[in-house]
Amino acid sequence: MKSLYLDPFSGVSGNMLLGTLFDLGLNFADFKQELAKLEITGYELTLTETTSSAIKGHLFEVTLSDEFKGHHADEGAGKIHHHGRNLSTIENIINNSSLSENIKKSACTVFEEIAKAEAHVHGKKIDEIHFHEVGAIDSIVDVVGFFIGLKLLKIEKVICGTLVDGSGTIKVAHGVMPVPVPAVMQMRMNSEVPFRQRADVLTELVTPTGFGIIKCITDVFGGIPENLVVEQVGYGFGTRETGSLNALRGILLESEQSKKRVNTKSDSVIEVHANIDDQSGEQLSFTMKKLFDFGVYDTFFTPIFSKKNRPAYQLTVLAKESALEDIILIIIKNSSTFGVRWNVMQRKIMQRKFEIINTKHGQVKIKIGIFGNLKKVSVEYASAEKIAEEKNLPIGTVMEEAKREYYKNLEV
């Protein structure tokens, strides 16, 4: 399972979230193709690979067409392209699109969260809120676009650190407001989102759009889970001048321990067992998925005969010792077993590293195992599968080409 860790050390906004996803590999053309399903006009998208404080990242911006900048009007017939909108209009735009139901639901949840906060702050009913903070084109693109990005990158879980905001005041359409801005402060009520302010930054770092997305999408708040493997790091830049690096850091995490670089030659693991004789194959598959999602080294089922000669399965799990209590909880919660048993075992392992190989079909990840004078080379299936799908090639062709290029590079 792929997870996204967000490190909002300099706040968060809609365009910073999307810039981060693009820096993590989101394809711009695929993104625009999906976003077009909204059928709204009056804007242009720009994506720039740039550097800030000597760090490379991406800046994503939504630019309104000149005729729509600052324009508020009633909705006319045909495609919607006006600047000011209320919540119900936004929900209609989203729900009438051909986007996936999950994207529609998630985006509408965020807009409802923001609209409720703005309505409370301004002392109005939610259907009376009709202004930039809720209805602008760039907000719609940012919110819907973020969920499109998660889908295209196949991210299933979002983890977030402490949100960092500035202080002082900021001038907006309604006048001068304190930082955090009132809508953000309202959304913080009865919220578990961790939050702190920087006294040295006298401007807004956390926008209502950014906070709304974080509040609605985050599964867990805290640090990077130790059972997950860091796969890629990206940066999405903000447009405000803060006197320091104004960026959101995103980290792609993978639960598959086989993708982790290994420098040791031996270690100790736990081997956990449970006998199960009264669950369907579908339910057992769910249990296995939960264990792999957590990040165990391996898990598998072995057919056995249980008491009263009943056909059954023995579940086996290999993992690090520190994960024992978590694994026991997963097994008991997601299977019918009444207990588990385990052993601590020593093992010898190959040192493992990864390389990216350029082939005529695209980039493929290679796994290299070393044990003394022995060496094994294998192609990472996921990277080969992606190219095979994109280029309509047999996966065997992609994998053979990657190995061929790897050995060719050794000869140079």
Domains of the chain by range and CATH?
Answer: 2-70+78-255 (no CATH), 266-348 (3.30.70.1380), 351-409 (no CATH)
Q: Both tokens of residue 299?
A: 């898990």
- C-alpha of 53 from chain center: 25
Residue 58 has pLDDT above 70, yes or no: yes
| Nearest residue to 148 (alpha-carbon basis) of 63, 44, 41, 35 | 35
Residue 257 near residue 295 (C-beta atoms within 8 A)? yes
Q: What pLDDT, in 10s, does the model give residues 380-402?
A: 998 899 899 989 999 999 999 99
Position 258 confidence tier, pLDDT thresholds 50, 70, 90: low
Residue 68 has pLDDT above 80, yes or no: no
% of the chain beyond a pLDDT of 70: 92
Position 73 confidence tier, pLDDT thresholds 50, 70, 90: very low
Residue 406 near residue 367 (C-beta atoms within 8 A)? no
pLDDT of residue 195: 96
Residue 75 has pLDDT above 50, yes or no: no
Residue 236 near residue 57 (C-beta atoms within 8 A)? yes
What value does the mean pLDDT of the chain take? 89
Place of tokens 């009007």: 73
pTM above 0.75, yes or no: no
47 class by beta-carbon count within 10 Å (0-12 exposed, 13-18 middle, 19+ buried)? middle
Element (H, E) at 357: strand 351-358
Q: How far apart are CA 382 and CA 153, in angstroms?
A: 13
